[in-house]
Amino acid sequence: MSENVLSGLIVDWGGVLTGPMRAVVESWAHSDGIDLDTYSASMANWFGEPVGQEALLNPIHALERGELALPDFEVMLAEDMSRRSGRHYEANGLLTRMFDHFEHAQDMNGLVRRARERGIRTALLSNSWGNDYPRDGWDDMFDVVVISGEVGMRKPEARIFEHTLELLGMAASECAFVDDLAHNVAAAVNVGMVGVRHVSYDSTLTELQALFDVDLS
C-alpha cells in the first residue's frame, strides 16, 4: 500500500448512517403538526453562522455538549416556536418523536462494516441531541465511538476531532472524515484529515474507494 493511502475512517451518524436529515424533519413536522417554517426559524436563530462567533449561551450547542438536558431543550424550543407562531406547542416528547423518524441507511452502514473488515480503523463521531442511539451492531462497525453529549465537546470544534484521533491512535493525515454538513467537513480538513461531504451512497463509496485504494462495494 502506498504511503498516501489512508487507513482510518471517521463517520457521522445523522444524515450519513441514517436517511437525509431534511426528510426526517419534514416527516416529523408533518406527523406532529409542526409548522416547518417556524421550526426552521428557531433553528436558524440558534445555529447562526456555523463558523462564526459562538453565542455565550446557545441552546443547541449546550444540548450537543450535554450541558442542557433534552427535556429542558424541548421546553425552550416549544416556547420559541409558540412565540414565533402564536400557536401552542407541547414541549413534552417534542424531539423524542423526531428521533422516531430516523431510518438506517443500510447501504452506508454496510460500507462502514466492510471497511472495518478490510482492516480500516473506524470511528463514529456524532453530535447528540440527548437522544438514545440504536447501537445494535456497532461493535462490528466501530473501533471507537464518540458522542458529543458524552464527552462535552461538539463538532465543529477541533478538540472533538483531536479526541477521536487520540482514541483511534492515529494521525489526522491517516484519516478520512465523512459528514453531510459542509462546515463539519471543513473543520475536519482544518485539523488535517481528508474531508468527504456525504451526498449519496454512490458518491461517497466512489470517493472512499479511491482514498483507501480498496474495494468497499
Q: How confident is the model at residue 48 (pLDDT cuts 50, 70, 90)?
A: low
Backbone angles phi, psi at 108, to 5 degrees: -70, -35
- Residue ranges per domain, the chain? 8-19+103-212, 21-99
Question: How high is the pLDDT of residue 3?
Answer: 55
Question: How high is the pLDDT of residue 184?
Answer: 97
User: pLDDT exceeding 70 applies to what percent of the chain?
Assistant: 94
Q: In sequence order, what are the residues at sequence separation of 6 or more whose Cβ sits closer than 8 angstroms to the Cβ of residue 96?
A: 70, 74, 131
Does pLDDT of 51 surpass 50?
Answer: no
**CA end-to-end span of the chain:** 19
The fold adopted by the segment(s) 8-19+103-212 is Rossmann fold (3.40.50)
Does pLDDT of 31 surpass 60?
Answer: yes
Indicate the average pLDDT of the chain.
92
Pick the closest to residue 178 from 155, 195, 159 (CA basis): 195
Q: Considering the entire predicted model, what is its pTM?
A: 0.90
| 8 Å CB contact between 2 and 213 | yes
Question: How high is the pLDDT of residue 4?
Answer: 66
d(CA 9, CA 7): 7
CATH of 21-99, one of 3.30.420, 1.10.760, 2.60.40, 1.10.150: 1.10.150
